[in-house]
A and B are shown apart, each in its own frame.
Chain A
């Protein structure tokens, strides 16, 4: 038997005694490292590899006894506060939609929303209780499964000749797939960073094929943050500065080329201007921006807003999907917006604190990818709902109506 296999076998014997599977990866890595250090020390003292390995294993002690002791320390710590907050946000979403839809005119397929929430909660529970180290064991399978699902969505979910906006929701899964790849190539030095760049391109192309600019931006920002964390933690074992240069130089070039292209593309340039000032094109691209700003101008701190005499607002179909917050502010008042944002901010801050408390690299990547996806969605959605229409909002996680979005956000 190879000596490393012996070491792995020992670590497995220890972990077999620990019922909480999520602790296995970290413990097994620590024990393996210890045994390798001890074996190397014995080898440096003149022992052969097999003898040194055996001696190191004997020095460590009975794996069953160690595993049993560690089992007493490592018990599952369910994040009840986060779970309760998720359920509370989901319930608040339902409540807001009841209050708003009663004042609006959009159809409200309640059973479908309930089914989506239940499927989503089921997936969340499954993801929570599944051993997340599977992502570390099968990173490529995870990455390519997400790509395959996205391509399938691109083909199946269509409105006429073009892909449906729902296909773009798959972009919410891209950061997770990317995080898995970053973890898989973390020890490969500069070529690992280049591989990450290559694995970024495929999902990015899918996002642009839908096209979902919001999805692309969400993936690009979360991808860059995940990669930056990996470099700063020296996962690639490269000089931090060179690692950053390898990532951000191509990004800067692409950004500059994009900006240059935009300056020659009058349509995109106008879209950017309209996003900042929708009054430039009040009946075209700036229509929604103008409508939102009019509604917000007439909103009160507490209570139903008042429309200016000259303005006419036609009820629009997105008031419980893309513009839930605008509707909330106008119908209930800014106070409701402040409360909802407070709850979301609390969720985000707590989520990131938990995320950075993870000492295992894989746990950090996975939780960071989930929290980044959540946060960027919130930022994009809030900006759009306050009248800044640079990109179409994806969804307000857990709160806005959207069956597929609810399921994917809860996974």
Chain B
């Protein structure tokens, strides 16, 4: 099922960081992996991905290097730095709190039975 773009927008950074937490990747590979891991739910546009990647690199969350590990072409690989790992933990905590709150609302609001 394709997901509404708006839902993806705010969390793209977290998803990118999570992908890179597993292994170093280049841009195209990230889009493919994200699509595969989400059962084609997340089809990230390259035009959205690169400005985010470059911004994260500038902020020191990621570092980049050229390599031609699995292809004849030299590619720009991204690596998650320790600062980026910390950001991922924060983002994940934020997401957990957010989904918990949304779920509570969807279930009809917070339960006061035990108060």
Query: Residues of A with Cβ closer than 8 Å to B?
Result: 26-27, 29-31, 33-34, 36-38, 59-62, 65-66, 69-70, 72-74, 233-235, 237, 359-361
Contacts and interface: CB of A to CB of B under 8 A. Distances in A.
B51 A61 contact: no
Majority secondary structure of chain A interface residues (helix, strand, loop or mixed): helix
A73 B54 contact: yes
Contacts of A60: 45-47
A66 B72 contact: no
12 contacts: A27-B54, A29-B74, A29-B76, A30-B27, A33-B75, A61-B45, A61-B46, A73-B55, A74-B58, A237-B72, A360-B66, A361-B74
A136 to B, nearest CB: 13
Nearest to B49: A34
Interface of B: 26-28, 45-48, 50-51, 54-55, 58, 64-68, 72-76
B50 A30 contact: yes
A61 B68 contact: no
A27 B54 CA distance: 10
Q: Which of B47, B51, B58 counts the most A-chain CB atoms under 10 A from its CB?
A: B47
Nearest to B69: A234
B28 A61 contact: no
Nearest to A32: B73
B51 A66 contact: yes
Contact of B51 (A73, A233, A235, A359): A73
B62 to A, nearest CB: 11
B64 A36 contact: no
Q: Nearest 6 A-B pairs (CB), nearest first?
A: A61-B47, A69-B51, A37-B28, A60-B46, A66-B47, A73-B54
A204 B66 CA distance: 31
Nearest to A73: B54
B115 to A, nearest CB: 48
A62 B45 CA distance: 11
A26 B27 CA distance: 13
B65 to A, nearest CB: 5
A65 B28 contact: no
Given A73-B51, A234-B68, 9 more contacts: A30-B75, A31-B46, A33-B73, A33-B76, A61-B48, A62-B47, A66-B50, A235-B74, A360-B66
Given A59-B46, A61-B46, A234-B68, A70 B51 contact: yes
A403 to B, nearest CB: 39
A38 B30 CA distance: 12
Contacts of B64: 359
Contacts of A74: 54, 58
Q: Which of A34, A70, A234, A361 counts the most B-chain CB atoms under 10 A from its CB?
A: A34
Nearest to B57: A73
Nearest to A68: B51
Nearest to B73: A33
Contact of A34 (B46, B55, B58, B65): B46
B36 to A, nearest CB: 13
Q: Which of A37, A59, A60 counts the most B-chain CB atoms under 10 A from its CB?
A: A37
A36 B58 CA distance: 26
A34 B71 CA distance: 13
Contacts of B73: 33, 36
Q: Which of A66, A73, A237, A361 counts the most B-chain CB atoms under 10 A from its CB?
A: A73
Contacts of A62: 47
B66 to A, nearest CB: 6
Nearest to B58: A73
